[in-house]
Structure 1
Amino acid sequence: MKPTTTRFMLGTWVLAGTAALGHFWLARPDLGPQLPPAVSLWLIELYSSTNGEELRDLETLLALSSALVVILALTFAGWFIFRRCAHRPAS
């Protein structure tokens, strides 16, 4: 495959995977990452949220950033495994 096509597909995968996982975690918060209450209160103070709308923005930011980290980790792990298996000599 051409490098440009590969980069485009990789970028599309990361964006779509992040959006899908973030949406899933926002729709089902019981299945997403759970922060300790002290960290949650610290983030609310740091973000200076004063109403429910700003708190929802913080939840969205946290869900999308966590989803990005998970998707990137899975992508790099898959890439590493693929590269290891693809370059093994056939026995």
Structure 2
Amino acid sequence: PFERGDWILLFTDGVPEAVSGKGEPYGERRVQSFLQSHCRLEASEFNRQMLRELEAFSGRGFQDDIFILSIQIKKEPARSREVFSPSR
């Protein structure tokens, strides 16, 4: 279950596969490190900063699509309840 402060981060493979001028991929470790060091930002600002980070890292245009969706859990999730009951 999700708790307040948790993040859901979805991204295309173009994010970890972004390549530097030296041919080095950005990688999932850098994605994780970026999330840990920027998790206090609002989700929209997090996305902007991550895109800037990727642009600075690559130093050139991207070779693949880049899509980032971040969701930050701000409230305690409501208890789940049955909202659908199949007819008998």
> When the two structures are superposed, what TM-score results if normalisation uses the length of structure 1?
0.24
Work out which of the two has the higher radius of gyration on C-alpha atoms and give 1 or 2.
1
Q: Structure with the greater relative contact order (CA < 8 A, sep ≥ 6): 1 or 2?
A: 2
> When the two structures are superposed, what TM-score results if normalisation uses the length of structure 2?
0.24
Structure number with the higher helix fraction is 1
